[in-house]
Structure 1
């Protein structure tokens, strides 16, 4: 069996262990080093030379990134919290023995150090959309990000990728009850990462859509409406411009950023190719679901009160005051690079969103090919 330095194999009880940097071939007793290790043709069954630790791999974006890494022949170490059966499905993203799992805790430095001590790439996707009594925004977005970045630097990691958020600011605009604490903590997290790992690549994604997202599924959900067909938006969505991006493009952007030396130490705004007013985008999405009585309204006290109370629910919630605080801010590109600078060819935003809206059709039993419904007109771009 041939091996290469800094490659991790799964040891006893699932604990990653490092292999020797030099093996002796059993076939001809010749030395096999990194220089003559058979890497393959660059696909799933080859070795790309990348050993990546992906924090937050079980989340929406993390699963796509792990899949992209596995397709390129990278070895991926996945730290996880909670039941292991929720994360084991990611084993299929890579070849046999290339996807490894290890339990960790965000406040346990020893467990963090063990999962990245043999890695040359670390990707931090850890984040929360709402606060809990155990993990508030500061513990996750600031203290946790700083801890991971510091240990990565101490472990000799070559490239570090940190996920922040678009529109981060130390003093974001107040739209509902208070300035977004989410965006403030994300900004402070960026500063913490820069202090600990100056060469870090920081991604600022806009609203990301795809399967199991929190954009299409969020705005089309029943709980987001005050009544069956009434959708409350800040000033009816006429003053908010959004630039949503497909999750596959974000994942591909991470892969290209790891390969591109120009991305080192830069802030990358992961935004879609087109900008739309939220009012037009919501009208388009609801028209695709064929809701005849759909109507936009302004933010009502009922939706604000409901979102505030739902922050105290101790499990995942689609609606909370924290989300309302940031969802009506216009997307602003202020980073050093965008995904087009990395060679990313974006998918068509409206066509892809239309695909994800199909599960919300109110008349799904009708055949579209029969022409019983008029085609839904596409909204004009905000900058057109």
Structure 2
């Protein structure tokens, strides 16, 4: 008797459960999202396989700094849209910075406004890393640093992008006089004009002014350990290197700061200087104000020089030799 009651109770529970599911499935009630922002769709614990609620479009992702920025974004579950110019094989390795479906590619041209609109249509964050170290027949400093930056900022504003981050350069000054070049640096002048163009189109933009950036595949340390080191005993420096100060910043520190600023609304409209620890400051906030612990250059040298020492015949032990003496200055005549 008891067995029949248990069976009946169990059957009743199963029927009730099935009825409940059926009612929910056939319900005509429409449930609206009370919050339509992307962060309402945030899922996961915040790692690479999660979705942070942010979609970031990174212009210039195939460059030196761009690779590190995309890697940082992918680690925290940000969906990344990478507009690229040229061959798609140039950006193929960036597919690995995020989980499956988190990294999307889109061909574009800096002068193609329709392609730019497609690239930022679903993004709440846009990061501009596009830049040139020298002018070419295809692109001048004016076209890239000023007109291109203004176009990206203007379209991002029109498409409703919430955060726009622009990377400029340390010492950017439209009235730059110059120490070496007569008439000043055309590069730094165009960078300053680009900052103003971005501010005009997107007043809430966050601007970064990095100094020389070093890291794997950079154009700073590789200059000194490359051609001149292998083909001569002397390294030519303007004025023998006197009165020239370098404040190189580690690329991972810069990438960390850019990602941190993209998620911090308090950084809107501010300009940050990205440089090494130094007593020479202009009063602007630095990477340390974004919670970044700056990496000392001397702590990275063994890693940065490792590829150049791979073929050495003798691998010395740590501390086996005394540190080299400072270089001697030779007066140019």
TM over 0.5: yes
2:153 is aligned with 1:149:
yes
Secondary structure of the 1:44 match is: coil
Q: Which has the higher strand share?
A: 1
Q: 2 CA distance for matches of 1:363 and 1:65? A: 31
Q: Residue 324 of structure 1 corresponds to which residue in structure 2?
A: none
CA distance in 1 between partners of 2:105 and 2:275 (Å)? 31
Bigger helix fraction = 2
Correspondences of 1:1-384 after superposition (within 5 Å): 33=33, 37=41, 39-174=43-178, 175-222=180-227, 224=228, 228-274=232-278, 333-334=281-282, 336-361=284-309, 364-369=312-317, 372-376=320-324
Q: Gapped runs of 5+ residues in structure 1?
A: 1-27, 276-331, 380-384
Once residues 65 and 342 of structure 1 are traced to their aligned partners in structure 2, the CA distance between those partners, rounded to angstroms, is 15
The residue matched to 1:204 in structure 2 has which SS?
strand
CA RMSD of aligned residues (A): 2.4
User: 1:33 Cα deviation (Å)?
Assistant: 5.0
Shift of residue 121, structure 1, vs aligned partner: 0.3
Quick check: 167-176 or 70-79, which moved more? 167-176
- Judged with a 3 Å threshold, the aligned counterparts in structure 2 of structure 1 residues 32 and 348 are, in CA distance, closer, same or farther, namely farther
Contact 1:268 1:338 (8 Å CA) reproduced:
yes
Q: Distance in 2 between matches of 1:38 and 1:129?
A: 38
Q: 1:102 to 1:164 in 2, by over 3 A?
A: same
For the 8 Å contact 1:273–1:349, the answer to whether it is kept is no
How many pairs does the alignment contain? 295
Distance (whole Å) between structure 1 residues aligned to residue 320 and residue 61 of structure 2: 43
Contact 2:42-2:52 at 8 Å conserved across structures: no
State the SS of the aligned residue for 1:193: helix
Which gives a bigger RCO, structure 1 or 2 (Cα 8 Å, sep 6+)?
Answer: 1
- What is the deviation of 1:34? 8.1
Distance in structure 2 (CA, Å) of the matches to 1:150 and 1:238: 42
Q: Are the counterparts in 1 of residues 62 and 91 from structure 2 also a CA contact under 8 Å?
A: yes
CA apart distance, 1:263: 1.1
Name the SS for the 1:251 alignment partner.
Answer: helix
- Per-residue CA deviations over 1:54-108 (Å, capped at 9, x if unaligned) read 0000000000000100010000000000110110111110010000000000001
Q: How many angstroms does 1:355 deviate by?
A: 2.4
- TM-score, normalised by the number of residues in structure 1: 0.72
For the residues of structure 1 that align with 2:222 and 2:322, how far apart are their CA atoms? Answer: 24
Deviation at 1:38, TM superposition (A): 6.2
- Superposition TM-score, scaled by structure 2 size: 0.82
Instruction: Give the ranges of 4+ consecutive aligned residues of structure 1 lying more than 2 Å apart after TM superposition.
Output: 28-38, 224-227, 259-262, 332-336, 357-365, 370-379
Cα distance in 1, alignment partners of residues 263 and 42 from structure 2: 21
Deviation at 1:217, TM superposition (A): 0.3
Whose radius of gyration is greater, 1 or 2? 2
Q: Taking structure 1 as reference, are residues 371 and 85 closer, same or farther at Cα in structure 2, changes over 3 Å only?
A: same
